[in-house]
Amino acid sequence: MAITATYQNNKEQASCVCDMCSTEIFINCMHGPKPTTPNKRGNATKPKDEIKNSKTVIQQLSKQGWKIYQKEVVCGTCFEKRGKEKKLNIKKSTVEPIRQPTRNQKREITLLLNDVYDVDKQHYKQAETDHTVAETLGDGILWGWVSQIREDVFGPDGNEADMLTVGEAKLWMARADEHITSFEEQIANLQRTLVNIQAVRKDVNDLLEKMQKVVN
């Protein structure tokens, strides 16, 4: 760990060096005595290579964005850079290239489409679909490959079963329209009858009023 006892401006300091970029900062701490002037033998007393309040030093580093691991000290800038690189590597490792059909698989898809797709009518025969073609061929063939080749070479999606369903729906709609027309005619007749009844009722009321006047 790149945290060592040192002196700066005659103050006890902790020298903290980033193991990635060698950035160095100093934090106040407590450790052994500062070096003395050389003695008679020319040797100087070295400070103890031990920081007494290491927890305080680590707390101060954390406040400044540094990360302290068991065998490594990393400044905030390098820690952020490492995080971005890690995320980028994870994305690269998780993104797999889209699997494409081989030449032989394309040939197999085309051959089966020739049998099950009606080019003239522009739809699949019977109840065939892209999914049924892929399932029939197997060999890891995806229905999306079938769809792409069918669109590029043969024609749009759909099959005879869909066409029958559409035809049945149109027939039902036509019959419903006939019933609606019939009901509308009946309603119109009833409305005309009601108008006639109201007219007769008015005539009867007028006649009664005249008879009442004659009697009086």
**pLDDT given at position 45:** 47
* Residue 208: pLDDT over 70: yes
Q: Is the pLDDT of residue 116 over 70?
A: yes
pLDDT of residue 44: 46
3-state SS class at 159: strand
- Res 47 pLDDT > 60: no
The answer to whether the pTM exceeds 0.75 is no
**pLDDT over 70 (residue 48):** no
Looking at every residue in the chain, the average pLDDT score rounds to: 83
Q: Determine what percent of the chain is predicted with pLDDT higher than 90.
A: 30
Measure the CA–CA gap between 175 and 76, rounded to whole angstroms. Answer: 77
pLDDT in tens, 74-110: 898 998 888 887 766 655 555 567 789 999 999 999 9
Mean pLDDT, range 42-57, rounded to an integer:
67
Residue 40's pLDDT is what? 52
Q: CA 61 to CA 15: how far, in whole Å?
A: 11
Whether residue 41 has pLDDT greater than 90: no
What are 119-154's pLDDT values in tens digits? 998 999 988 999 999 999 998 999 999 999 999 999
DSSP 172-214: HHHHHHHHHHHHHHHHHHHHHHHHHHHHHHHHHHHHHHHHHHH
